[in-house]
Amino acid sequence: MGDIARQAPEKDTGEDIYQYLLERITNLENRNLELREQFRQMESEKRYVETQKIRYERELRKLKSEIEQLRSPPLVIGTVTDVIDNSRVIVRSSAGPRFLVRTSQLIDPDLLKPGVRCTLNQQSLAIVDVLPTSYDAQIYGMELVESPEETYENIGGLEPQIEEIREAVELPLTKPQLFEKVGISPPKGVLLYGPPGTGKTLLARAVAHQTNAHFLRVVGSELVQKYIGEGARLVRELFDLAKQKAPSIIFIDEIDAIGAHRNDSTTSGDREVQRTLMQLLAEMDGFENRGDVKIVAATNRIDILDRALLRPGRFDRMIEIPLPDHQGRLAILKIHTLHMNLSEDVNLSEVSRLTEGKNGADLRAICMEAGMFAIRMERDSVNTDDFMKAIDKLALDFDRHHFHTTFGEMFA
Ligand SMILES: Nc1ncnc2c1ncn2[C@@H]1O[C@H](COP(=O)(O)OP(=O)(O)OP(=O)(O)O)[C@@H](O)[C@H]1O
């Protein structure tokens, strides 16, 4: 600035004035360049702030819709008993009482006939939807796979557990005569317990693959939360379907949601859970041991399970699925990097050492993230640096998730 503001020469010979103006022009040009550079930097900062803003807005929208979902009340199931006119029908709710309710204009009045099952809004009891009369696994969030693709080779570090489940589930399905000859009953149900993401679902799917059995998966919490008053009925239908599709493996994930230790509380939610559990126990008891339907359940909370579930003839085999140790992590990393193009510098044993305490699902995520870092750097092989960044990113995501969960709980 000082240069630009320099005083004009006192002696105004033509040469001096020319020199002075030349210098002034150069200074102004330099200053112009400086300002342009500053402008460019500010533009790029502005762009960065704008993208950050978009990211936060997106995150906000996601969180809002999550809150919305959590707040949306479950639906009540009912059966139409009488139709008054196009907008009013009498419905018997699954909890017992009958109501005169309104129907949404979106529902085709021709569908509303006595005997039809429908869902009702929990507060207004207005009819929200009509359920198909025939059994539809998808409605209830059941997953039915003809024969899953996972094999024992896709499971890392659980050799003793694989052996156990083969003996308890696979052998009775493939060689029932062995048990008959010896005169013992094979286990009816197997309970897999341990921390989340350690491969319990994977193990159950692999057994179904090995035995060419249908794989039917239900989630305990969904059985009792999605459609009030339907838990017991769903359990009954689940077993019917499994028998129909035999050989089959019923996989009940989060069994603790229906099989937690009972206490004396009598809220309607608790009664619903109890009815569902009683139905499950009844189904298991009335079940042919030597049949070709096997039940595998999984839980992260064996400590809260009702002992009734663990009695002989029910889940009489318990298999612990622990967090993987160093060798286990190495085996899992090998599985998830099998088809990846790894640079020579990658030492999976070192990656395993740096991921102590991580489960199989985390390790899979680390491998995928490492691959993403390589893609971002426009490389076609994954190197050690990518793995290090992926490990850091996972730790960061974990902290963020933890923060959101705690934050969410504060407002729950
Ligand atoms: N031992 C393992 N070997 C290979 N992959 C694994 C292993 N454990 C977990 N994974 C990976 O993590 C994913 C999630 O694991 P899975 O759903 O089987 O865990 P889970 O124990 O059933 O968890 P949850 O208790 O949360 O239901 C699997 O699909 C698989 O890709």
pLDDT tens for the 412 residues of the chain, in order: 444 455 655 666 888 889 999 999 999 999 999 999 999 999 989 998 998 899 899 889 888 887 776 667 778 888 888 888 878 888 887 667 788 888 877 788 888 888 788 888 877 888 888 876 655 555 455 777 777 889 999 999 999 999 999 999 999 888 888 888 888 888 888 999 999 999 999 999 999 999 988 899 888 888 777 666 677 878 888 888 888 888 899 999 999 888 877 665 555 567 778 888 888 888 888 877 667 889 999 999 988 888 888 888 888 899 999 999 999 999 999 999 999 999 999 999 999 999 999 999 999 999 999 999 999 998 999 999 999 999 998 887 766 665 555 545 444 4
**What pLDDT does 401 receive?**
61
Ligand 1 proximity of 148 Cβ (cutoff 6 Å): no
Q: Which residues contact 348 (CB under 8 A, 6 or more apart)?
A: 330, 333, 334, 337
Q: What's the CA angle centered on 69, arms 66 and 75, to 5 degrees?
A: 165
ipTM: 0.96
Residue 332 Cβ < 6 Å to ligand 1: yes
Q: What tokens does 289 get?
A: 């041991």
* Alpha carbon nearest to ligand 1 atom 4, residue: 155
State the distance from the centre of ligand 1 to the C-alpha of 189, rounded, in angstroms: 20
Q: What share of the chain is helix, strand, coil (3-state, %, to 5)?
A: 50, 15, 30
201 lines ligand 1 (CB under 6 A): yes
Residue nearest to atom 6 of ligand 1 (CA): 360
Binding region for ATP:
197-202, 336
Ligand 1 binding pocket includes 335 (Cβ within 6 Å): yes
Backbone phi, then psi, for 102, in 5-degree steps?
-95, 155
Instruction: Please say whether the beta carbons of 169 and 186 come within 8 A.
Output: no
Ligand 1 atom 18: the closest Cα is on which residue? 199
1 C-alpha to ligand 1 centroid (Å)? 66
Is 242 in contact with 216 (CB distance < 8 Å)? yes
Q: 155 CA to middle of ligand 1, Å? A: 9
Q: CB of 289 within 8 A of CB of 168? A: no
Mutation to probe ligand 1, out of 151, 201, 326, 336 (largest number of atoms < 8 A from CB) = 201
Strand partners, 80: 91
Cβ pair 321, 192 in contact under 8 A:
yes
Å from CA of 203 to ligand 1 middle: 8
* Cα 322 to middle of ligand 1, angstroms: 11
Between the CA of 362 and the centroid of ligand 1 the distance, in Å, is 9
Nearest CA to ligand 1 atom 23: 197
What pLDDT sits at residue 2?
47
**From the CA of 197, how far away is ligand 1's center (Å)?**
4
**Pocket perturbation via mutation, ligand 1, pick of 150, 201, 202, 369 by most ligand atoms within 8 A of CB:** 202
CA of 138 from ligand 1 middle (Å) equals 23
- The pairing of strands 189-193 and 315-320 is parallel
pLDDT of residue 125: 83
Q: Measured between alpha carbons, how far is residue 197 from residues 21, 145, 299 in Å?
A: 75, 21, 11
- Helix (H/G/I), strand (E/B), else coil: 286: coil
Ligand 1 touching residue 196 (CB < 6 A): yes
How far is the centre of ligand 1, averaged over its atoms, from the C-alpha of 163 (Å)?
A: 18
CB of 364 closer than 6 angstroms to any ligand 1 atom: yes
Find out whether the beta carbon of 367 lies less than 6 Å from any atom of ligand 1: no
pLDDT at 237: 82
Which class for 145: exposed (0-12), middle (13-18), buried (19 or more C-beta within 10 A)?
Answer: middle
CA 202 to centroid of ligand 1, rounded, Å: 6
Provide CB contacts within 8 A for 202, sequence distance 6+: 150, 154, 155, 360
CA angle 279, 137, 236 (to 5 degrees): 15
pLDDT of residue 399: 64
Question: Which residue's C-alpha comes closest to atom 26 of ligand 1?
Answer: 196
Distance CA 191, CA 294 (A): 11
Going by CA atoms, what residue is nearest to atom 25 of ligand 1?
Answer: 196
Q: What is the pLDDT of residue 368?
A: 93
Closest CA to 319 of 144, 231, 198, 176: 198
Indicate if ligand 1 lies below 6 Å from the C-beta of 360: yes
Find out whether the beta carbon of 253 lies less than 6 Å from any atom of ligand 1: yes
Could you tell me the pTM of the whole model? Answer: 0.68
Collapsing DSSP to helix, strand or coil, 50 comes out as helix
Q: What is the Cα–Cα distance from 123 to 61, expressed in whole angstroms?
A: 26
